[in-house]
Amino acid sequence: MPKYKLEYIWLDGYTPLASLRSKTQIKEYASFPKLDQLPNWGFDGSSTQQAEGKNSDCILKPVAVYPDITRKDGALVMCEVLMPDHKTPHPSNSRATIPDDPDTWFGFEQEYFFFRDGAPLGFPAGGFPSPQGPYYTGVGYKNVGPVARKLVEEHIDQCIAAGINIEGINAEVAKGQWEFQIFGKGSKSAADQLWAARYILMRLCEPYGVDIELRCKPVLGPFNQALDWNGSGMHTNFSTKHMREVGGKAYFEKLMAAFNEHRDEHIAVYGPENHLRLTGLHETQSIDKFNYGLADRGASVRIPHSFVNNGYKGYLEDRRPNSAADPYLVAGRIIKTIQSVPTS
């Protein structure tokens, strides 16, 4: 029987920005293991801000498994962290407590920077490249810098091989900034896939001395220190069965009223340091305002043209979540607000 290399992946207990952790377990299976064939496992929570030193065992419970083409007989195993009783979710386990609904679909647009030696890939040492303009969807070394294209291509291939619904990539507005899109049905499945895609990307950059910078506003300066380079978002597109099949202007307006009412609860889980990014500039709305608009990239929620043309049916784009947000919490909060609005 082949010996499978199972990479158990979980989120650590650091705040406000949890990091991915992983370790390998080797086990024999006749063929690629199914989720229910993967045993719980443990780790030392005192090294990940998840336990005190004295009683430091935490439990890893597999929740999703994806083929890993970087290894012969490899698997990526997304896990939840449980307390030693194998039942109680650890306080850092955001996935365990969110509402789910397989008929609510999510499309996450994950923006990020490639970083090398403390600066975005392609920035000259100690300085700044020419201003934003040619980089978004650009081509050529002067626009995309070194190795970025190779990395994003490899990312696509590894995600597809893993069965992760990656829907596209593009170079973004700032130099060294890129985006990929992940689509999934249900808050947990969509966010599992996004976390796994983040993991795949971070890992494949290691041999190049490149890191993935998820913080939403990593580049300041050179003149007005906060304003000159785009921040990174994680626009979250969403649709429920009711939105796709029934919709209507009256329901849409009720839904947006609920988003307005719960603005602060949404912002609370839309990623750290978001006040640096949601400034009203760079295609964002201010953090303390809520609005929506047709094809409006300066709105909190953008309504695609197709939505209005189809009688207020389809999906909406919440532009406020940032690149470092936890997609479990973002998707969970969106479902919670939607569920507070009666459909009739």
Q: Which residues bind ligand ADP (CB under 6 A)?
A: 105-107, 109, 167, 181, 183, 235, 237-239, 315, 317
66 binds, among ligand ADP, Mn ion, none (CB under 5 to 8 A by kind): none
Nearer to ligand ADP, 213 or 318 (CB): 318
| Binding to Mn ion, residues 108-147 (CB under 5 A) | 109
Report how far residue 326's alpha carbon sits from residue 272's, in angstroms, rounded to the nearest whole number: 10
Owner of token pair 């796709």:
244
- Residue 168: CB minimum distance to Mn ion, A: 8
Q: Is 320 in the site for Mn ion (CB under 5 A)?
A: no
Chain residue whose CB lies nearest Mn ion: 235
Report how far residue 256's alpha carbon sits from residue 290's, in angstroms, rounded to the nearest whole number: 9
Residue 198, number of CB atoms within 10 A of its CB: 20
Interhelix angle 187-205/148-162, nearest 10 degrees: 140
For the purposes of burial, counting CB atoms within 10 Å of the CB of 46, is it exposed (0-12), middle (13-18) or buried (19 or more)? middle
| Binding to Mn ion, residues 58-117 (CB under 5 A) | 109
Nearer to ligand ADP, 144 or 166 (CB): 166
For the purposes of burial, counting CB atoms within 10 Å of the CB of 99, is it exposed (0-12), middle (13-18) or buried (19 or more)? middle
Q: How far is CA 124 from CA 12, 146, 149, in A?
A: 33, 12, 18
Residue at 207: amino acid letter: P
Nearer to ligand ADP, 133 or 207 (CB): 133
- Residue 341: CB minimum distance to ligand ADP, A: 17
50 binds, among Mn ion, ligand ADP, none (CB under 5 to 8 A by kind): none
- Residue 107: CB minimum distance to Mn ion, A: 9
- Residue 235: CB minimum distance to Mn ion, A: 4
- Residue 46: CB minimum distance to ligand ADP, A: 38
* Residues 301/259, Cβ–Cβ less than 8 Å: yes
Selected from 12, 68, 179, 318, the binder of Mn ion by CB under 5 A is 179
Nearer to Mn ion, 90 or 302 (CB): 302
Chain residue whose CB lies nearest ligand ADP: 107
For the purposes of burial, counting CB atoms within 10 Å of the CB of 233, is it exposed (0-12), middle (13-18) or buried (19 or more)? buried
Q: Is 235 in the site for Mn ion (CB under 5 A)?
A: yes
Q: The tokens of 267 are what?
A: 């912002």
- Residue 318: CB minimum distance to ligand ADP, A: 11
Q: How many residues at the interface with Mn ion, by CB under 5 A?
A: 3
Residue 324, number of CB atoms within 10 A of its CB: 23
Nearer to ligand ADP, 44 or 103 (CB): 103
Binding site for Mn ion (CB under 5 A): 109, 179, 235
